[in-house]
Amino acid sequence: MNPLRIGNFSGFYGDRSAALREMLTGGELDVLTGDYLAELTMLILARDRLKDPGAGYARTFLRQLEDCLGLVRERGVRIVTNAGGLNPAGLAARIDESARKLGIPLSVAQVTGDDLTAAHPGALAAHAYLGGFGIAECLRAGADIVVTGRVTDAALVTGPAAAHFGWGPGQYDELAGAVVAGHVLECGTQATGGNYAFFREGDVRRPGFPLAEIHADGSSVITKHPGTGGFVDVGTVTAQLLYETGGARYPGPDVTARLDSVRLRRDGPDRVRIEGVRGEAPPPTLKVGVNRLGGFRNEVVFVLTGLDIEAKAELVRGQLTDHLATSPPAEVRWELVRTDRPDAGTEETASALLRLVVRDPDQRVVGRALSGAAVELALASYPGFHVAAPPGKGDPYGTFEDAYVPQDAVDHTAVLPGGRVRPVPPPPGTRPLRAVPPPPLPEPLPPGPARRAPLGTVAGARSGDKGGNANVGVWVRTDEAWRWLAHELTVERFRELLPESRELPVTRHVLPGLRALNFVVEGILGAGVAARHRFDPQAKALGEWLRSRRLDIPEVLL
């Protein structure tokens, strides 16, 4: 049987608008997937729905699709996307309406059952992460376009693969292979050189979007359309495999994929083969993402220029601390960012930033805390006083938390073309999720001369967020470097290099098949990205900070 060619045209809500057309016209494809639903996106869509009950889906997808409906029909490519968000029925109706107006015969189906908001009082949105078999039912019934609510990102690939190859719920190895391919595709151009540690090794000014050639046994080849930008190699695929993952077991609604079984090898220019993936029964519960309104936040950034930076910061901090004491917000955070340089050639490079953030359940408190007080200091504080922008009244912020429900607690439903409804049963078997025992480490490198250098000289990294936690995947490209990294980058050394993690739980996972270590730092992101707890709220650059830190590296690796 020929492989199933599945491409991606979106990795987030706001991705390249031309990508759908580029993928449809750039080469042969069977299915195109679009991923829109990050944790923050669900909160954005929930707030949209508060203003308009008919909203709640990714409007940008509808515009992309309307421009390409004729091409979709002409090329015979099926579209599968979670752009339905909180309102898949609304999006499906709009697509159907657009196709009829244009006289383009396309059938539309949808997947529902993920919305559990009613069971979580006070939540703006609470949605279970569904698997791929609802999508498979829609495609088997002849749907040209399938829109879903909250499914796992990888389900956009496992569903079409299960439909095409006839996989059943118990074919865990095949499903796990598709999960791994789906995880590589889900973030779009991150698999083709985007956000890549070794980006200078190729032209990544406009990376092409990735595609996977999936085979009946679950193995796949990751590649891209000929002539598109970026590049695909073992490193770009490794980086994406480590993104937003934890240990060796990668759980999902349909299968738990064993990341420690993954084997990668070059299969030609811009082609990487993924094989050997093993799967196990999924866990007995489904993850539910719960988004709530956390309160209100306000901030002001004071610009401190030239001499006496620390003293200037102390002065304004003392002035505002006295003011805040009269009506104290629930949370007050100061952060001095030393962007200044001595004897700088421009005023901007001579300046540091002092950031004050306040939070409180009451918008009036955060508004009063900063708006008047910060402005009143304009002529009565440190020399050179000015702010990056005047503070406002305060904006709402969200929080994200995980909950779990039994697999059979959701009404996973495929709404087929024409409106027929088909229930999707829970998996026939489950297995509680347990950590994999640490694998044996390789023999360490023999002693020899070392030189102080950044970790990134020999190692790549990619980091990301899962709720309030962050993961940092670190990998190397040779067996010799792996022999060093596996022994050198312990949890203790990781905490030493990233002081923000010193007081937090840190877990190290070892993946020898990828020559990789994956660190999970619990709580570093507070209540999740929507809470904007830290400077880099999604931990996107945490890995690059780690790569910039210096340590003693054996000269044989340098």
Tell me the pLDDT tens digit for each residue of 96-135.
999 999 999 999 999 999 999 999 999 999 999 999 999 9
CA angle 189, 194, 195 (to 5 degrees): 130
Asked whether residue 255 falls in the same domain as residue 352, the answer is no
Q: Tell me, yes or no, whether 291 lies in a domain.
A: no
Backbone dihedral angles phi then psi of residue 341, each to the nearest 5 degrees? -125, 150
3-class SS at 189?
helix
Q: Tell me, yes or no, whether 202 lies in a domain.
A: yes
Instruction: Report d(CA 170, CA 220) in Å as an integer.
Output: 19
Give the strand pairing for 285-305 and 351-360.
antiparallel
The pLDDT score that the predictor gives to residue 529 is 67
The pLDDT score that the predictor gives to residue 487 is 98
Query: Residue 420 is which amino acid?
Result: R
**How does DSSP classify residue 15?**
-
Identify whether the C-beta of residue 221 lies closer than 8 Å to the C-beta of residue 6.
Answer: no
The secondary structure of 330-354 as a DSSP string is SEEEEEEE----TT-SSTGGGEEEE
Q: Cα–Cα distances in Å, from 119 out to 29, 37, 116, 123, 423? A: 40, 21, 6, 9, 20
Identify whether the C-beta of residue 354 lies closer than 8 Å to the C-beta of residue 321.
Answer: no
CATH code for the domain in which residue 344 is found: 3.30.70
The pLDDT score that the predictor gives to residue 318 is 93
Picking from 91-100, 250-259, 395-404, which range would have the lowest pLDDT averaged per residue?
395-404
The pLDDT score that the predictor gives to residue 393 is 86
Backbone dihedral angles phi then psi of residue 43, each to the nearest 5 degrees? -70, -40
Asked whether residue 197 falls in the same domain as residue 147, the answer is yes
Residues facing 463 on adjacent strands? 472
Picking from 41-50, 220-229, 304-313, 419-428, which range would have the lowest pLDDT averaged per residue?
41-50
Q: How many domains does the chain have?
A: 3
Question: 513: which 2 tokens?
Answer: 């098949």
Question: 19: which 2 tokens?
Answer: 């990508």
Asked whether residue 159 falls in the same domain as residue 222, the answer is yes
The pLDDT score that the predictor gives to residue 526 is 82
HSE (side-chain half, CA atoms, 13 Å) at 328: 7
Q: Tell me, yes or no, whether 439 lies in a domain.
A: no
The pLDDT tens digits for 351-386 are 999 999 999 999 988 887 677 788 888 899 999 999
Identify whether the C-beta of residue 245 lies closer than 8 Å to the C-beta of residue 252.
Answer: no
User: What is the Cα gyration radius of the chain?
Assistant: 25
Asked whether residue 209 falls in the same domain as residue 60, the answer is yes
Where do we find the tokens 């700088």? Answer: 344
Identify whether the C-beta of residue 473 lies closer than 8 Å to the C-beta of residue 462.
Answer: yes
Question: 410: which 2 tokens?
Answer: 């959701």
CA angle 205, 210, 213 (to 5 degrees): 155
The pLDDT score that the predictor gives to residue 440 is 95
Residues facing 509 on adjacent strands? 518
The pLDDT score that the predictor gives to residue 391 is 82
3-class SS at 377?
helix
3-class SS at 252?
coil
CA angle 353, 355, 358 (to 5 degrees): 170
Asked whether residue 70 falls in the same domain as residue 145, the answer is yes
- % helix, strand, coil for the chain, step of 5: 35, 25, 40
Chain center to CA of 283: 22
Picking from 127-136, 152-161, 277-286, 287-296, which range would have the lowest pLDDT averaged per residue?
287-296
Angle between helices 309-324 and 363-376 (to 10 degrees): 130
Q: Provide the percentage of residues in the chain whose pLDDT is more than 90.
A: 88
Instruction: Report d(CA 27, CA 463) in Å as an integer.
Output: 31
Computed over every residue of the chain, the mean pLDDT equals 94
Identify whether the C-beta of residue 160 lies closer than 8 Å to the C-beta of residue 139.
Answer: yes
Q: Tell me, yes or no, whether 161 lies in a domain.
A: yes
Asked whether residue 141 falls in the same domain as residue 233, the answer is yes
Q: Tell me, yes or no, whether 211 lies in a domain.
A: yes
Asked whether residue 13 falls in the same domain as residue 111, the answer is yes
The pLDDT tens digits for 384-414 are 999 988 888 888 888 889 999 999 999 999 9
Q: Where are the beta strands (DSSP E) in 407-543?
A: 413-415, 421-423, 450-454, 460-466, 469-475, 506-511, 516-521
Asked whether residue 78 falls in the same domain as residue 152, the answer is yes
The pLDDT score that the predictor gives to residue 531 is 67
pLDDT at 534 over 80: no
Q: Tell me, yes or no, whether 271 lies in a domain.
A: yes
What pLDDT band is residue 442 in, cutting at 50, 70 and 90?
Answer: very high
Q: Tell me, yes or no, whether 444 lies in a domain.
A: no
Picking from 21-25, 385-389, 459-463, 533-537, which range would have the lowest pLDDT averaged per residue?
533-537
Asked whether residue 256 falls in the same domain as residue 336, the answer is no
Asked whether residue 264 falls in the same domain as residue 305, the answer is no
Supply the range of the domain harboring residue 549.
Answer: 450-557
Q: Tell me, yes or no, whether 320 lies in a domain.
A: yes
Among 535, 397, 395, 361, which Cα is nearest to 40's?
A: 397
Give the distance between the most distant pair of CA atoms in the chain. 77
| CB-CB neighbours of 166 under 10 Å | 12
pLDDT at 264 over 90: yes
Q: Provide the percentage of residues in the chain whose pLDDT is more than 70.
A: 99
What pLDDT band is residue 263 in, cutting at 50, 70 and 90?
Answer: very high
Picking from 234-243, 317-326, 477-486, 508-517, which range would have the lowest pLDDT averaged per residue?
317-326
Asked whether residue 334 falls in the same domain as residue 381, the answer is yes
Asked whether residue 242 falls in the same domain as residue 332, the answer is no
